[in-house]
Amino acid sequence: MQPARTCLAIVLAAGEGTRMKSARPKVLHEVAGRSLLSHVLAAVTTAGADALAVVIGPDRPDVAAEVRKHAPHAAVFIQSERKGTAHAVLAARESLAGKHDDVLVAFADTPLVRPETFADLRKALHGGVGVAALGFEAKDPAGYGRFVTQEGALHAIVEHKDADEATRRITLCNAGLMALNGHKALAILDAIGCANAQNEYYLTDAVAVARAQGLKTVARVAPEAEVQGVNDRVQLAAVEADFQRRKRLEAMLAGATLIAPETVFFSHDTVIGRDVLIEPNVVFGPGVKVADNAVIHAFSHLEGASVGPSASIGPYARLRPGAELAKGARVGNFVEIKAAAIGEGAKVNHLTYIGDAEIGANANIGAGTITCNYDGFVKSKTIIGEGAFVGSNSALVAPVTIGAGAYVGSGSVITRDVKPDALAIARGRQMEREGWASAFRAAAQARKARQ
């Protein structure tokens, strides 16, 4: 068996992103709950890149930190002056000298490219190919580099600004991504000059240069939606919309029912099991897992939560990070759960806040129950045993434990532990005066008549 080809991915992230009109660097803006940059880092890694280099602009510790967070082993290079895409790639010269078989170049502002597409570009390098470039059929080609092809072979890429009338009529455009033969890449890149309309070192010239060096160059084509880039907030929203379309399809094809898919919003890492039912208007933040046969009723919001098999949440439920629902647990309308484990078959059905808690199997938490978990300084824990019954409108002042099978009377403010199987009532005692109301009314009417 042949040894696997090694691969270096160079991710260009030195753009200024002025059109975002943002204090935040463009590549740190998010799609489906994670940065554009981390989408690209993940895709090239899945495509088999075993070495990563990220080229960032000067004074961008925030971008460097994002790289360290998602790809701790990546080398970070600073392009101190923006002199074009080839110049940016060469900022990573040190990594390029590393003799990788394949070199992938990706743009950090083009987040939807699938790992399969990167892998196909790598495959295209087999058989003496020096450069494989990724193109797309553009609805509106203005502004893009054009693929000049002859008999199916890629001859050159001509930037819009350098193109003549005939070349501008070409609709097969450059997506910007490229794979280069790793053993030839430096020689190709070093031969690129800047005699063009923008006086920039164009990565696109790698095609003509490679041909001049006797290497083959080829094109691969991807759908336009997959290679769309982000330059402003309108394009950011367009990319988000396409990502969501993709995730919804994935969820449905994997066996989940989405009644109104266009109203369900996933995070990049949402995991949905089989025969899950998701009603309209549900939002998944990062870190959510939903097991088989669970039901997510309408208007629920989940983040960092795990929903067990056959569990049910909502309508109008909010699961915050650390919410863990076991099999068959039920969390109903206007209930918020944070950092709490809800045991098998337990019910928290209405108008409740459960934070920093453990709720045993089959416990029943009445409407309006609040765990008072925070005193302004520290968070404390509430533990509710199996089969316990907490009456409506109770306040459980943590730290506190309600024993298994215990009852808490409605409207109680529980400040001390309750023993298993006990009844705890902590509320004002009811008093009653017979006939008081009619006597009150008679006296009041007499007073009014005298005035």
The footprint of ligand UD1 (CB under 6 A) covers: 12, 14-15, 55, 79, 82-85, 87-88, 107-109, 144-145, 157, 159, 173-176, 202-204, 229
Pairing of strands 102-107, 75-78: unpaired
Q: What is the CA radius of gyration of the chain?
A: 31
Minimum distance, C-beta of residue 158 to ligand UD1, in the bound complex (Å): 9
User: How many of the other CB atoms lie within 10 Å of CB of 43?
Assistant: 24
CB of 391 closer than 8 Å to CB of 412: yes
For ligand UD1, give the closer residue by CB, 82 or 246.
82
Minimum distance, C-beta of residue 108 to ligand UD1, in the bound complex (Å): 6
Minimum distance, C-beta of residue 150 to ligand UD1, in the bound complex (Å): 19
Gap between the Cα atoms of 112 and 115, Å rounded = 9
For ligand UD1, give the closer residue by CB, 47 or 55.
55
Pairing of strands 153-158, 216-221: unpaired
For ligand UD1, give the closer residue by CB, 135 or 182.
135
Q: Show the DSSP H helices in 264-310 as ranges.
A: none
Packing angle of the helix pair 36-46, 61-70 (nearest 10 deg): 40
For ligand UD1, give the closer residue by CB, 36 or 342.
36
Minimum distance, C-beta of residue 275 to ligand UD1, in the bound complex (Å): 41
Q: Is 442 exposed, middle or buried (0-12, 13-18, 19+ CB in 10 A)?
A: exposed
User: How many of the other CB atoms lie within 10 Å of CB of 53?
Assistant: 26
Residue among 155, 160, 268, 350 flagged as catalytic? 350
For ligand UD1, give the closer residue by CB, 79 or 310.
79
Catalytic annotation present for 87: no
Minimum distance, C-beta of residue 23 to ligand UD1, in the bound complex (Å): 17
CB of 96 closer than 8 Å to CB of 1: no
Could you give the residue numbers annotated as active site? Answer: 350
